[in-house]
């Protein structure tokens, strides 16, 4: 394992995440996950990431780390409540931090992240509270997660951000447009997550989009339609080009992330030890420069192709009323909206409030009300994207 340094801290360049412990990737075998966390420590991983909002993940991680905690870099997040609302007011932040410390069985957190935005609380108030937590030794650094670039900039201007977490992989490069240049400008580290594309690069044809109902990948746009076809073409290409160098598509994809300027850590979150072993090996593997150049040019072509196909697909989906089946309607609308952002047709900050609306509607309303709200969002997104149609 190789290690990187940032703002005086040193940690493994591949980090282990605990999102899977929340059940987000289907039914989780907690005993196996604990063994995977152990395996991570035994094999040189020192960066561990979790969140208040990942079910029992903080407790489980705290228990597994035990006395080994002090030699590790521990990152967690202040998450929204069950209704999806983030509360970053001073007192709420202190309470959330105390509760995380207790669950993690530690007296300090190395990196405390804002998981989601709270537009109602001024950034300055949250930063002042975070700085106080630093002075009190409860946290050593703070960072941000799923925030639109203009809000991230406010944090960068108001305090000393350690890092920004962003999805980043050969199949998800939207951060390159605005967020990552901002990180380089402010010397804020980029912590890349879902670097294996949530496993898409290892999917076997025929099983590529079969998931349990509780698995978020069942509605994840990355696992649908043109996006999935593109990801599988990338996986096939990486297998062909890096296979001779004994690197799997997943390992090549992780090594690709680690080469990107500004990335301080590549986070992966497998529940299985064999998967983690494969991923960790990417830290010690290399490819000749000429191969990286070929990969780059393939990825550029693939991106242009996906942009063309994606544009047409989004237009088709938004141009007619949604499917009468509520689940299918939700999935199609999510695909259209998220793909529009991922491919750069629409600003994330414009779409974010509509996204929240979409998820809250689904969680709280009855079927009829829900389909009316979905139809309203469809027309709104269509108006934003294709005003002339
Ligand atoms: N995803 C998010 O929205 C998000 C946001 C902020 C922070 N994070 C943090 O970043 C961490 C990493 O993100 P992630 O968990 O999405 O990363 P990831 O490793 O790209 O995705 C995990 C999924 O990919 C599968 N996978 C991983 N390596 C594999 C391999 N070698 N072969 C086959 N399948 C493989 C895992 O399968 P198995 O379980 O079967 O091993 C699991 O289902 C999270 O755990 C979390 O701590 C995530």
Q: Per-residue pLDDT tens, the chain, 389 aa: give them.
A: 999 999 999 999 999 999 999 999 999 999 999 999 999 999 999 999 999 999 999 999 999 999 999 999 999 999 988 777 899 999 999 999 999 999 999 999 999 999 999 999 999 999 999 999 999 999 999 999 989 899 999 999 999 999 999 999 999 999 999 999 999 999 999 999 999 999 999 977 777 778 887 899 999 999 999 999 999 999 999 999 998 899 999 999 999 999 999 999 999 999 999 999 999 999 999 999 999 999 999 999 999 999 999 999 999 999 999 998 888 998 999 999 999 999 999 888 788 777 777 777 777 677 788 888 888 889 988 998 888 77
For residues 9 and 80, membership in a common domain is answered with yes
**Is 283 part of any domain?**
yes
Smallest CA separation from ligand 1 atom 36, residue: 270
* pLDDT value for 151: 92
Count up the domains in the chain and report the number: 2
Take residue 165 and report the two structure tokens written for it. Answer: 């977490």
For residues 207 and 325, membership in a common domain is answered with no
Cα of first residue to Cα of last residue in the chain, in angstroms, is 53
Nearest to 269 by CA among 61, 65, 84, 59: 61
Distance 200 CA to ligand 1 centre (A): 10
pTM listed for this prediction:
0.94
Q: Are 348 and 338 in contact (CB under 8 A)?
A: no
* pLDDT value for 348: 80
Pocket residues: Cβ below 6 A from ligand 1: 17-20, 25, 49, 145, 165, 193-199, 202, 250, 267-272, 275, 278-279
Domain limit, last residue, from 257, 287, 317: 287
For residues 228 and 301, membership in a common domain is answered with no
Distance 16 CA to ligand 1 centre (A): 9
Distance 193 CA to ligand 1 centre (A): 8
In a 3-state reduction of DSSP, which class is residue 10?
strand
**Is 196 part of any domain?**
yes
Distance 196 CA to ligand 1 centre (A): 7
CATH number for 257: 3.20.20.100
For residues 43 and 139, membership in a common domain is answered with yes
Q: Containing domain of residue 365, as a range?
A: 292-382
For residues 10 and 146, membership in a common domain is answered with yes
For residues 319 and 274, membership in a common domain is answered with no
Domain limit, last residue, from 271, 287, 303: 287
Smallest CA separation from ligand 1 atom 12, residue: 268
For residues 232 and 299, membership in a common domain is answered with no
**Is 47 part of any domain?**
yes
Catalytic residues: 54
| Cβ neighbour number for residue 137 with a 10 Å cutoff | 9
**Is 234 part of any domain?**
yes
For residues 214 and 328, membership in a common domain is answered with no
**Distance between CA atoms of 292 and 298, rounded to whole angstroms?**
10
**Distance between CA atoms of 342 and 223, rounded to whole angstroms?**
13
Q: Are 61 and 104 in contact (CB under 8 A)?
A: yes
Look up tokens 């007011």; give the residue: 89
**Is 8 part of any domain?**
yes
E strand segments, 94-186? 109-116, 139-146, 163-167
For residues 146 and 226, membership in a common domain is answered with yes
**Is 389 part of any domain?**
no
In a 3-state reduction of DSSP, which class is residue 212?
coil
Domain limit, last residue, from 268, 287, 306: 287
* pLDDT value for 203: 79
* pLDDT value for 84: 79
The preferred substitution site among 14, 15, 19 for testing ligand 1, maximizing ligand atoms within 8 Å of CB, is: 19
């Amino acid at each position: 394992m190789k290690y990187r340094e940032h703002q005086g801290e040193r940690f493994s360049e591949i980090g282990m995440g605990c999102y899977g412990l929340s059940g987000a990737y289907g039914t989780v075998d907690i005993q196996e996950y604990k063994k995977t966390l152990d395996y991570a420590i035994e094999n040189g991983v020192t960066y561990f990431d979790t969140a208040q909002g990942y079910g029992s993940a903080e407790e489980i991680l705290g228990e597994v780390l035990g006395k080994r905690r002090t030699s590790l870099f521990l990152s967690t997040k202040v998450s929204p409540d069950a209704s999806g609302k983030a509360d970053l007011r001073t007192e709420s932040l202190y309470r959330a931090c105390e509760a995380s410390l207790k669950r993690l069985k530690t007296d300090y957190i190395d990196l405390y992240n804002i998981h989601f935005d709270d537009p109602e609380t001024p950034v300055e108030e949250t930063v002042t509270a975070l700085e106080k937590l630093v002075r009190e030794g409860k946290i050593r650094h703070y960072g941000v997660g799923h925030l639109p670039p203009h809000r991230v900039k406010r944090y960068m201007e108001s305090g000393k951000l350690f890092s920004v977490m962003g999805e980043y992989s050969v199949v998800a490069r939207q951060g390159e447009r605005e967020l990552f240049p901002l990180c380089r400008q402010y010397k804020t580290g980029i912590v890349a997550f879902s670097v294996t594309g949530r496993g898409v690069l290892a999917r076997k044809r025929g099983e590529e989009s079969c998931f349990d109902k509780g698995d978020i990948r069942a509605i994840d746009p990355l696992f649908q339609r043109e996006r999935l076809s593109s990801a599988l073409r990338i996986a096939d290409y990486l297998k062909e080009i890096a296979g001779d160098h004994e690197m799997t598509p997943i390992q090549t994809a992780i090594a690709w992330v680690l080469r990107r300027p500004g990335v301080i850590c590549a986070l992966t979150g497998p529940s299985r030890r064999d998967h983690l072993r494969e991923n960790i090996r990417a830290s010690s593997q290399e490819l000749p420069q000429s191969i990286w150049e070929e990969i780059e040019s393939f990825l550029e072509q693939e991106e242009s192709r996906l942009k063309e196909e994606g544009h047409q697909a989004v237009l088709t989906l938004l141009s007619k009323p949604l499917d009468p089946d509520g689940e299918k309607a939700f999935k199609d609308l999510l695909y259209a909206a998220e793909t529009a952002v991922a491919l750069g047709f629409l600003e994330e900050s414009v779409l974010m409030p509509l996204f929240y609306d979409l998820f809250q509607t689904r969680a709280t309303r009855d079927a009829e009300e829900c389909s009316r709200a979905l139809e309203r969002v469809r027309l709104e997104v269509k108006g934003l994207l294709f005003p002339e149609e």
